[in-house]
Structure 1
């Protein structure tokens, strides 16, 4: 989920809730248990879907493994709607996808409103669309909420008191916590956990909205470790751009909306031009930096840079120095053939991907092979 990360102070807010998506890859029960026992995490909110077609491929395994670790489970849908009809259609798609993935009735299924589509709408239109989504999602037995950034809350859309999951970076303790009138405050987008690779979004909860309606066995085994690790996370969390690396990417994008082409991979870089919707852009490099996923476009003189979306969008996610290697399934593959080519047993291959050897795999699926 997106917001610009600017650094953190030594005193940490609580790490009550973590959100995960396809960007984090496969997450095991052991990782969630470690978050619970060592960092005091109480709830996990997993990405379910985006727009009207994208289903997060890790939603089902995340939901099952979070529950197995004794944590509260919730979900979120990355909103692309610009009209009331689209909001209702996306809610139906998200609700059906959540049901299929095993999200339990009573969980929160929040709408994540931070897209360019929402940015182009008036506050009144966003309020109407969000209300339509939330009313529709409740028909599936889920509780509704809105995730957005602090700069958009009550500016781009209305966030009523005692509702909302608000992202506000950086974490700066100033005698009181931020967004105490809301359900949750996401205070970092680059927290680290001991046995999990990569950066995670973490939030402090002010109400029981994200820990209600479900059973949980959250009992951190070492309260002193929880306190120390929370403080350590704050001290060690830094801007992801300091360690991010450009990786090769030869792709052609067709822009759905107008996008600013900049002189550098930063929202503060000068604008070269604004590319209109429908433009095609050929890229040669990509990077996750400053809360966004950036791509580089070779030009007749130098390069241009544009953000394809927030760091958590559904496009291919770049993990610099990732500790896992993934294989993309092609037609004719089987658990046995993939395992043989990579020196694994098919049981190990299936297990480390949260599946059994009887699970179906399809072309385009990504499997962790090491």
Structure 2
């Protein structure tokens, strides 16, 4: 779950300083979610998160599609419960039809039962795949999500939807007092985000004292993710909780650095029809709509506004097109460069694939427009050469 909606505001540094100084509206680390990317997490780590950072709830990755079962789900559930946290789960969705959604819900429910997720916990559907739900209408996604959530309740779990702020009430409907929404602003300026929803995931790069790597953390606005399971365990070091939350906010809500154009001479062949804009912004006017199969030669590229843009020299000036989201540079176009691909299999990780192909994990992830903390799933194609 690494979705980023970046907010660019004027006077960013001043507002960040005011926000951090007051700390009245500092985003809290109420809930953390973990998956196989975080590796084995001990009870001691969850106790530290609770006592020193104020974490109340844990949401564990359970499954993905119809074949992937997170190998760490059972230990994360057991160790999180032992630490006194409210424990929930989530399923990464690949469904594109109502029938597929029901099949995935059955798979997720059975996998959650086998991993020990307690009845009454939330089992959310994580809907963020650009290649799957991203190409569907809002009505189709609403229909599919409703089918998944109705089916998951048959296993005794409570349902919810996780998605990005840019998709909420755009790609799918997220009603008030529902939903777990991700949005990573660079500057808070004192306001709260997604207060009408159950939870706001505000960072994908939080650090905990005795745990390795980056973690997704969320602030809770309702008791939906802490209901149905009793816990009387409270943080033991309130001073540390305040200081650690301040530090996490400072590291996350940093002033926005202006993006820069870089030289990139490439030839792209469009996989689908794409708008050519007058500027590198989705709000800029469209020059034309280029049909699938069009060859586009570019000279520069930039990442801004949540997208990766390329510039096309034209007879009069330039045209601009988005090649995909900032974290997925191959969403809409194929480069003319020939690549070697590897199809992810069950049990694979960034490390095993990188080792097999003589790469470092960070190199493998970056050349696929991702980080080593992004989830990979069976059937996904990765560039390895």
What's the TM-score once normalised by structure 1's chain length? 0.70
Q: Judge conservation of contact 2:68–2:378 (CA < 8 Å) in 1.
A: no
Pairing 1:138-157 to 2, within 5 Å after superposition? 138-157=153-172
Q: Judge conservation of contact 1:71–1:217 (CA < 8 Å) in 2.
A: no
CA-to-aligned-CA distance 1:65-107 (integer Å, 9 cap, x gap): 0000000000000000000000000000000000000000000
Pairing 1:95-134 to 2, within 5 Å after superposition? 95-115=109-129, 116-134=131-149
- Confirm whether residue 274 of structure 1 aligns to residue 333 of structure 2: yes
1:312/1:123 Cα in 2 relative to 1: closer, same or farther (>3 Å)?
same
Q: Judge conservation of contact 1:171–1:187 (CA < 8 Å) in 2.
A: no
Q: Judge conservation of contact 1:184–1:206 (CA < 8 Å) in 2.
A: yes
- Confirm whether residue 231 of structure 1 aligns to residue 267 of structure 2: no
CA distance in 1, matches of 2:250, 2:371: 30
1:5/1:189 Cα in 2 relative to 1: closer, same or farther (>3 Å)?
farther
Counterpart of 1:62 in structure 2 is 76
Pairing 1:254-273 to 2, within 5 Å after superposition? 267-268=307-308, 270=310, 271=323
CA distance in 1, matches of 2:340, 2:148: 32
Which structure has the greater CA radius of gyration? 2
1:167/1:92 Cα in 2 relative to 1: closer, same or farther (>3 Å)?
same
CA distance in 1, matches of 2:211, 2:89: 20
CA distance in 2, matches of 1:163, 1:36: 25
Counterpart of 2:230 in structure 1 is 215
1:35/1:171 Cα in 2 relative to 1: closer, same or farther (>3 Å)?
farther
- The correspondence for 1:195, drawn from 202, 210, 217, is 210
Counterpart of 1:48 in structure 2 is 62
What secondary structure does 2:103 align onto? helix
What secondary structure does 1:215 align onto? coil
Q: Judge conservation of contact 1:19–1:45 (CA < 8 Å) in 2.
A: yes
Per-residue deviation at 1:274?
A: 2.4
RMSD: 3.3
1:21/1:88 Cα in 2 relative to 1: closer, same or farther (>3 Å)?
same
Q: Judge conservation of contact 2:195–2:221 (CA < 8 Å) in 1.
A: yes
CA distance in 1, matches of 2:222, 2:141: 25
Q: Judge conservation of contact 2:54–2:241 (CA < 8 Å) in 1.
A: yes
CA distance in 1, matches of 2:191, 2:253: 22
CA distance in 2, matches of 1:79, 1:174: 33
CA distance in 2, matches of 1:190, 1:264: 26
What secondary structure does 2:333 align onto? strand
Q: For structure 2, which runs of at least 5 residues remain unmatched after alignment?
A: 255-270, 275-295, 311-322, 324-329, 343-356, 380-385
CA distance in 2, matches of 1:308, 1:196: 18
1:176/1:61 Cα in 2 relative to 1: closer, same or farther (>3 Å)?
same
1:308/1:124 Cα in 2 relative to 1: closer, same or farther (>3 Å)?
farther
Q: For structure 1, which runs of at least 5 residues remain unmatched after alignment?
A: 240-256, 297-304, 317-370
What's the TM-score once normalised by structure 2's chain length? 0.67
